[in-house]
């Protein structure tokens, strides 16, 4: 059964979420980057598998984060530089349909496969996904990510971010004054990823800030002061399908 949601894969109550990936070990933007930051051990395993040439288009695989939650890495690209191909999506969907019961996937959330940075037209991808996923006897969410405001964990992260003052950015997060000034001028942000567009916030800074706020939003505590001491939040093992 297919259910459409305007939110992201992270804000629906499912056992498994689908992350779109390439086959060369890079999760540098979009959904893949957020999955990398939310599930760092999954990312480490993915890089290792890519180095071993075990991540291939047409063969999504499942990474078990814990007994109740899994991430399915779905290759929609061969290399991150190049667009997706509709046949890779079809091969991957066919593979998923043939194997989901074997790994007891009970509910799953898909993004719009290959329709963002993959450059495929959603008008072509949507009927393909429906053709394969609609007959399944589990809850299948297709998440459109059309909400203009944050919800769930992201909203908690933004609430903390938007309340930070200059002293906190500089003393607690070790952000230079010039960058903290740029961030403060940009507030309030409505989606966390908008922080990447602030002048002076580079890739490494964004990833560190995201991880810090993500973990603190889960705990509901005040912001940590030492990013090197942030705990790992899951115990993981890879699981191929």
Does the active-site annotation cover 48?
A: no
- Exactly one of 36, 77, 112, 156 is catalytic; name it: 77
Residue-by-residue DSSP string for the chain: -EEEESS-GGGS--SEEEEEE-SSS---SHHHHHHHHH-HHHHHHHHHHHHTT---TT--EEEEEETTEEEEEEE--SSTTS---HHHHHHHHHHHHHHTTTTT--EEEE--TTSSTT---HHHHHHHHHHHHTT-SSEEEEE----SS--HHHHHHHHHHHH--HHIIIIIS---HHHHHHHHHHPSPSSGGGGGGSTT--HHHHHHHHHHHHHHHHHT-PPPS-GGGPPP----EEE--
Which positions are catalytic? 77
């Amino acid at each position: 059964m297919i259910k459409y949601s305007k939110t992201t894969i992270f804000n629906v109550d499912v056992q498994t979420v689908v992350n779109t990936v390439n086959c060369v070990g890079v999760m540098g933007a979009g959904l893949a980057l957020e999955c990398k930051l939310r599930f760092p051990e999954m990312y480490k395993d993915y890089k290792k598998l890519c180095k071993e040439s075990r991540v291939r288009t047409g063969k999504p695989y499942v990474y078990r984060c814990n007994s109740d939650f899994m991430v399915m890495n779905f290759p929609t690209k061969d290399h991150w530089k190049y667009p997706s191909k509709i046949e890779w999506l079809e091969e991957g969907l066919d593979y998923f349909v043939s194997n989901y019961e074997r790994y007891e996937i009970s509910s799953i959330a898909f993004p719009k496969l290959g329709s963002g940075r993959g450059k495929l037209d959603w008008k072509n991808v949507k009927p393909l996904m429906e053709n394969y996923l609609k007959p399944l006897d589990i809850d299948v969410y297709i998440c459109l990510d059309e909400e203009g405001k944050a919800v769930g964990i992201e909203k908690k992260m933004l609430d903390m971010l938007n309340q930070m003052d200059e002293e906190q950015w500089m003393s607690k997060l070790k952000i230079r004054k010039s960058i903290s000034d740029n961030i403060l001028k940009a507030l309030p942000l409505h989606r966390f990823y908008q922080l990447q567009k602030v002048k002076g916030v580079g890739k490494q800074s964004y990833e560190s800030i995201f991880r810090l706020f993500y973990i603190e939003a889960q705990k509901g505590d005040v912001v940590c002061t030492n990013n090197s001491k942030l705990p790992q939040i899951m115990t993981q093992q890879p699981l191929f399908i």
